[in-house]
Chain A
């Protein structure tokens, strides 16, 4: 597509429920990133996918967080047993390779109540 597409744009969930956030990167971009933006904070790295290489999961805050990227394209970030501190904007970005500037999606605003 023309840009990075994320869905849903907003998600309100009850504490303890699981959520799935989707990212559709720019066609042909081999690198895909997930970042988290909490209120008043900068962007926090979560996970990175590059082609068929093993993902860098070093930024995932707990084992409740996981992500996969199927077929080198669409990625899903899953948060299990959501907690209130998970409330944030989750941003996905893609780039042609690991050294290029990113293009960000509009994000998913997650609110855990």
Chain B
């Protein structure tokens, strides 16, 4: 099925550094979501974006919904060891009977070196 192009696939950074990851799609989405998954757990919602151009923050996390509605990015500032995990973007379609489905990127594996 369709997937989003998420990059980078993995990142290895030092504690305190800022991180940026993004997702792009050939299709328009009306909702963009960012999830984090810890080992052995299900993904947990970090930020939800509902409007093109929207910029939303949640603590050290900031995410933006691209103007074209085909992309989104997530920034993490001043990373800490507990930021380690896999980050997924997900998009929800604008219209159609199956707008409840989420399309996921393949994830960005983040490793933070203390």
Q: Which residues of A contact B (CB under 8 A)?
A: 4, 31, 33, 35, 40-45, 48, 50, 56, 58-59, 91, 93, 98-99, 101-107
Asked if B106 contacts A41 (CB within 8 A), the reply is yes
Asked if B1 contacts A106 (CB within 8 A), the reply is no
Q: Which residues of B contact A (CB under 8 A)?
A: 1, 3-4, 6, 33, 35, 40-45, 48, 88, 90, 92, 98-107
- The distance in angstroms between the C-alpha atoms of A43 and B101, with both chains bound, is 11
Q: Given the interface contacts A42-B88, A45-B1, A101-B33, does A106 sit within 8 Å of B100 by beta carbon? A: no
Asked if B100 contacts A91 (CB within 8 A), the reply is no
| Residues of B with C-beta under 8 A to A35 | 104
Asked if B33 contacts A59 (CB within 8 A), the reply is no
**In angstroms, how far is the closest chain B Cβ from the Cβ of A89?**
9
Asked if A99 contacts B99 (CB within 8 A), the reply is yes
Q: Given the interface contacts A31-B100, A43-B88, does A93 sit within 8 Å of B106 by beta carbon? A: no
Given A91-B42, A105-B42, A106-B42, list of 12 further CB < 8 A pairs? A33-B100, A35-B104, A42-B3, A42-B6, A42-B88, A45-B103, A56-B98, A98-B100, A99-B99, A104-B42, A104-B44, A107-B40
Residue of B nearest to A4 (CB): B42
Asked if A50 contacts B100 (CB within 8 A), the reply is yes
Q: Given the interface contacts A59-B1, A101-B33, A101-B48, does A45 sit within 8 Å of B102 by beta carbon? A: yes
Asked if A48 contacts B101 (CB within 8 A), the reply is yes
- The distance in angstroms between the C-alpha atoms of A43 and B35, with both chains bound, is 11
| Residues of B with C-beta under 8 A to A93 | 42
